[in-house]
Amino acid sequence: MIFDSLLGLFSTDMAIDLGTANTLVSIKDKGIVINEPSVVVVKHQKYAEAKVLAVGKQAKIMAGKIPRNMELIRPLRDGVIADFDITAIMIKYFIKKAHKRSAFLRPRIAICIPHGITGVERRAVRDAAYSVGARDVFLVEEPMAAALGAGISIHSSTGNMVIDIGGGTTEIGVTSLGGQIVSNSTRVGGDRFDKAIIDYIRIKHNLYIGEQTAEKLKFSIGSAHPIEGKSAMVKGRDGAGLLLEKEITSQDMTEALAEPLREISFSIRTVLDQIPPDLAGDIIDNGIVLTGGGSLLRGFDKYIQEHIKLKAKLCKDPLLAVARGTAKVLEDKKLLYSLSTK
């Protein structure tokens, strides 16, 4: 016990947002020191185990252009852990990288995990953190971390609604008096937007494009509402195998994104349906706070406003909210013991 509190004086505690698209690590007094894509490139070998070649930013640079004997792996998909071992390797890599930037002595680590992961997966995440020397590991659920990171005072008696649109999932939570009143998680997020763009362009324009191209297109001309006169030239392959370039408009993007956006608005309605009537007034007054990278899609806030008939606004730095919220949980003993599981 005394030894543990001594360690506390010297160690640097760490908060990790283990996202399906991006992993962020923040350290007390330093803020976010790691912000990298959750991807790993491995090289398959004939007579030995696959070798990890690159993790994070370095791996993402190689995406879409890697030779056949290598593979780009996104170990977390659709808000669940698709590859156990690679997830563990990735967590260890990021923790070690964060250590290099600070004194490291058996830190306490809080990890924000996707809502849908199973007990076995939770253990895998926890074990990975322990194996690189953590003294204590706390697992935090995403909606509460998002609410705290967005600056919502979760302890107040007023109800607040937060929606985090990540890469793999959309998590919806309603908080009041420090707890979660209702929550919902759906496997629609930025990745599904990209997939919808790929499918639409293939069917409507007979053009095959990859995930990287679809995401870039979403950033440049993607919108929940069509933007007049906005288009981009896109390179890909047609059904007959010819390489070619076609013009894709913002209108195409809006049509492609209609279905996943409808699914998100349907889940929000499901949550609204379960809200105790006494909290309805608070949500009407406070509106909905949006966090996560997916909320940066052009016109997303307006779309929610129109379809849900409630005010909706993006928080400051939506991509950083969950990491900041997880750090807040770690720094506040009361929050740590009420919002995390060991």
Ligand X SMILES: Nc1ncnc2c1ncn2[C@@H]1O[C@H](COP(=O)(O)OP(=O)(O)OP(=O)(O)O)[C@@H](O)[C@H]1O
- 71/78 with CB nearer ligand X: 78
Name the region of 112 (left: φ>0; alpha: ψ -120 to 50; beta: rest).
beta
CA R_g for the chain: 21
Say if CB 292 and CB 166 are below 8 A apart: yes
Least distance from Mg ion to the Cβ atom of residue 292, Å: 5
- 11/250 with CB nearer ligand X: 250
325 binds, among ligand X, Mg ion, none (CB under 5 to 8 A by kind): none
The Cα 200–Cα 205 span in angstroms is: 8
Structure tokens at 326: 């997880």
3 state SS of 130: helix
Which candidate, 245, 242, 258, places its Cα nearest to that of 200?
A: 258
Which candidate, 189, 183, 218, 184, places its Cα nearest to that of 201?
A: 218
- Which residues contact Mg ion (rule: CB under 5 A)? 19, 166, 322
Is residue 189 a contact point for ligand X (CB under 6 A)?
yes
Candidate residues 80, 124, 296, 310; the one interacting with ligand X per rule CB under 6 A: 296
Which residue's CB atom is positioned nearest to Mg ion? 166
Say if CB 290 and CB 163 are below 8 A apart: yes
190 binds, among ligand X, Mg ion, none (CB under 5 to 8 A by kind): ligand X
Is residue 167 a contact point for ligand X (CB under 6 A)?
yes
The four Cα atoms 260, 179, 79, 324 give a dihedral, to 10 degrees, of 100
- 167/287 with CB nearer ligand X: 167
Is residue 294 a contact point for ligand X (CB under 6 A)?
yes
- 19/236 with CB nearer ligand X: 19
Is residue 145 a contact point for ligand X (CB under 6 A)?
no
Is residue 149 a contact point for ligand X (CB under 6 A)?
no
- 164/252 with CB nearer Mg ion: 164
- 23/340 with CB nearer ligand X: 23
Is residue 215 a contact point for ligand X (CB under 6 A)?
yes
- 186/254 with CB nearer Mg ion: 186
Is residue 75 a contact point for ligand X (CB under 6 A)?
no
Least distance from ligand X to the Cβ atom of residue 166, Å: 2
The Cα 167–Cα 289 span in angstroms is: 18
Is residue 41 a contact point for ligand X (CB under 6 A)?
no
Cross-strand bridge partners of residue 236: 244
**Residues contacting 284, CB < 8 A, separation 6+:** 310
Amino acid at 232: A
21 binds, among ligand X, Mg ion, none (CB under 5 to 8 A by kind): ligand X
CB atoms within 10 A of CB 87: 24
282 binds, among ligand X, Mg ion, none (CB under 5 to 8 A by kind): none
Number of residues that bind ligand X (CB under 6 A): 23
Is residue 287 a contact point for ligand X (CB under 6 A)?
no
β-pairing, 288-291 vs 31-37, is unpaired
- Provide the terminal-to-terminal Cα distance of the chain, rounded to the nearest Å: 18
Candidate residues 75, 79, 143, 299; the one interacting with ligand X per rule CB under 6 A: 79
Which residue's CB atom is positioned nearest to ligand X? 190
